[in-house]
Chain A
Amino acid sequence: MNSFLRTIPFTWKNLVRRPLRTGLTVAGIAVATFLFSFVESMRDGVSKATEAGAAETRLVVYRKNRFCPFASQLPQSYQRSILNIEGVKSAVPIKIVVNNCRASLDVVTFRGVPDEGYMQEHIAQAQLRSGSISDWQSRGDAVLIGAALADRRRLRAGDRFDAAGVRSWVAGVFDSDDAQDRNVAYAHLGFLQETAQRGGTGGIVTQFNVEVDDPSKMEAVAAAIDEAFAHDQYPTTTRPESAFVARAARDVIVLVRFASIVGWASLAAVFALIANAIALAVRDRIRDHAILQTLGWTGADIAWMVVMEASMLGATGGAIGAIGAHAAIALTHLNFTMEGVSIEVTASNAATIAGVLLATLLGAVAGVVPALSAARREIVQGFRTT
C-alpha cells in the first residue's frame, strides 16, 4: 500500500472518532465558506447585470437628472422623434411603477408596454411557464409576470395581484434569461398610465428602450437622442442598458464590493481556524506520532496524515458551507431592486465550486507547517515531550 493511501483510514478515524473537535471545526469552516460563497454569488449577479457585452444594442432613454421611475416622466410622443434618428431600429415606450424606489429585497416592478407586438416578440425568447399571451391581450388589467417575481410572491396564472396601487390579473408566468425580465410584471401601457396617474394624463412614460441596429453606433445614437431633446422641457439622458443598470445599482455595487472583502476575510478565518485546529491536534498527538514512527511509519507518512486531515476538514466544512449557500440562494430567490432595476442573486455553480476548492486548498496549506514540525520531530523527543 503506498504512503498516500495507507494514511487515509487512520486520518479518517482521527476525524470521526473525535466528533466534538471535528464538529466544531467543520461548523466554523462551513459558516465562513457559506459567507464567502453567498457573497461571491451576489457579486456574480451584479457582474452579470452590469457588465456590458460586446454585442449590446439596447439603450435606455431616461429623464435627465432623475433617478427614480416616479420622477422620470417623458412624453410618449418622443417615440416618433427617436425612431427618426439614424441607427435606431426600434423604440419602445415603457411606463414603470414600483412599490419602493429605494434598494429593497422585495420590490414589485410593473412595466407598461405597448399592446401590439412587443410581448409576442419579447416572450418569443423566453419560455411561457403558464398562461398565454392571448389571455394578456384579451384583458386590460392583465399582467405577464417573470418567474422570479412569481416564485417570490407565489403567483400563478389566474391569480389577482395587488401592488404599488395597481390591481391586476395574472395572465401568465414566463421564464427568461434576463434578470430584469424575471423580476417584473408586464402590463398594458395604457392601463398602467391610467392607473398610476390616478386617472390623470396618459401619454407619459418613464423611459424608452431603444434598439440600435449596430453595436458600434451605440455612443453616436445615444448622443443624438440626448441632443434632440436637450432644449426641450423634458431633456433626456441615454445610456447603454448595462450602464443604466450599473448607475441605478451603484449603492448595491458598493455594498457588494464591501461584502466581497468580508467574503475573502471569511476565507482568512477558514485558514486561521484550520491552522489552529491542526496545530492543537498535532501538539496533542506528539506521542501518537512517536508511536507510529516507532512502528516503522516515516516522517513523510506523518506529514501526509496531518496535511490530509487539514484538507479533509477544509473540504468537509467547505462543501457544507458552499452547498448550503447554494441551496439558501436557490430557495430564497433573493433579488435586489433599486429604481426599478433588478439585480438577482442566483445560485452560482462557480461560487460553490470555488468555495469548496478554496476551503480544501486553505486546509492543505494550513496543515503544512504543523505537518513539517510533526515529521521532523525526533521520536525519542516525542516520547519525552508528553
Chain B
Amino acid sequence: MSTIECRNLRKDYRRGEEVIHTLQDVDIDIHGGSFVALMGPSGSGKTTLLNLLAGIDRPTGGTITIGGRDIGTLGRNALAAWRSANVGYIFQLYNLVPVLTAYENVEMPLLLHTLSSKERHQRVTEALELVGLADRYSHYPRQLSGGQEQRVAIARAIVTRPTMILADEPTGDLDRTSAMQVMDLLVRLNKERNQTIVMVTHDPSTAARAGRTVHLEKGKIIDAAEFNQATRTATIGAHQ
C-alpha cells in the first residue's frame, strides 16, 4: 500500500508578468488505504494538489514521494507508465471519450497493460458490474445520465486496480441521489479493496464520508479551526 508524502510542495503559474503561487510549501502525509477529503474555497489549490499527486502536473518545488518513489524525478514516459499502474483518476465532468461505448471507455486503460483479451473482458465486466452498469456496456456517453457517466468513469478508474484513486469533485455535477450512490461506491472501494482515495470536494456532507479532511486556503494547508473561521469570514463577506 502506497503512502503519499509531500514535502515543501510548491506550484507557481505565470500569468504575464505576474506569478501566482497556487501551492506554497505544502507538507502532507497520506497513509495507504486511507480516504482523505481535500476541502477549501475555489482557487485554494485543491485541484492543483490532486493533479500533482496524479502526476499529470509537475511541481515548481518540493517533492512528492509515493510508495517510496519520488515521482518528480520521473521522465514523461516513465511518469505515464507510473500513472497507468498506480493512479485511477475521476473527474468532476466525467471526461469519458465520446466516440467510445461505456465498455470501450473502461477498457482504454487496460490496453496499456499486458493482458489477454479474455482477461481484459473479465476485468471490464467486473468493473461495470461493481458500479451497477453491466447492462449499459454498449451505451455511448451521450446515451447515459450524469450519474451513470460518473459511474462509468469510476469503473474506468478502478479497472486497472490502481493503488490510489484521485477524485476531483466526483459529485459536483450530480443530483443528490446520484451523488450518494457515487459516494457509497467510493466508500465501499476504500473499505473493501483498501484503496487509497484522495477526493476534492466543496461539500461538507460529502467530505464527512471520508476518514480525514484536509483544508486548503490560499495554497496552504490550514487546520480545521482556521478553516472554519475562514469559511465564516467568507460567508459573512458574501452576505454583506
Contact = CB atoms under 8 A, between A and B. Distances in A.
B113 to A, nearest CB: 9
Interface in B87-143: 87, 89, 91, 95-100, 104, 108-109, 111-112, 114
Nearest to A375: B76
A164 interface: no
B220 interface: no
Nearest to A285: B97
A292 B84 CA distance: 10
Nearest to A5: B111
Given A287-B95, A294-B83, A379 B111 contact: no
A295 B108 contact: yes
Contact of A13 (B57, B99, B109, B111): B99
Nearest to B168: A383
A194 interface: no
Given A379-B57, A380-B51, A380-B56, A295 B156 contact: yes
Contacts of A124: none
Chain B contact surface mostly: helix
B99 A295 contact: no
Contact of A379 (B56, B81, B114): B56
Contacts of B89: 294-295
A13 B100 contact: yes
Given A18-B99, A294-B54, A294-B89, A1 B80 contact: no
A298 B84 CA distance: 10
Interface in A6-25: 6, 10, 13-14, 17-18
Of A299, A378, A380, the most chain B CB neighbours within 10 A belong to A380
B77 interface: yes
Interface string B165-199: 00000000000000000000000000000000000
Contacts of B83: 294-296
Interface of B: 51, 54, 56-57, 76-77, 80-81, 83-85, 87, 89, 91, 95-100, 104, 108-109, 111-112, 114, 156
Given A10-B111, A291-B91, A296-B80, 5 more contacts: A6-B112, A296-B112, A297-B80, A299-B80, A380-B57
A6 B111 CA distance: 7
Contact of A14 (B56, B91, B99, B111): B99
A293 interface: yes
Contacts of A294: 54, 56, 83, 87, 89
A379 B56 CA distance: 6
Contact of B97 (A6, A291, A293): A291
A319 B89 CA distance: 41
Contact of B80 (A293, A378, A380): A293
A257 to B, nearest CB: 45
Interface in A277-312: 287-288, 291-300
A296 B97 contact: no
Given A379-B56, A380-B56, A296 B99 contact: no
Interface of A: 1, 6, 10, 13-14, 17-18, 287-288, 291-300, 378-380
Contacts of B51: 380
Chain A contact surface mostly: helix
A365 to B, nearest CB: 25
29 contacts: A1-B111, A1-B114, A10-B100, A13-B99, A13-B104, A18-B99, A287-B95, A291-B91, A291-B96, A293-B56, A293-B80, A294-B54, A294-B87, A294-B89, A295-B83, A295-B84, A295-B109, A295-B112, A296-B80, A296-B83, A296-B85, A296-B87, A296-B112, A297-B80, A298-B76, A298-B80, A300-B77, A379-B56, A380-B57
A303 to B, nearest CB: 12
A296 B86 CA distance: 10
4 A-B pairs closest in CB distance: A296-B84, A379-B56, A17-B99, A295-B109
Contacts of A300: 77
A340 to B, nearest CB: 60
A13 B77 CA distance: 25
B109 A296 contact: yes
Contacts of A292: 97, 108
Contacts of B77: 298-300
A298 B76 CA distance: 8
Nearest to A378: B57
A14 B85 CA distance: 26
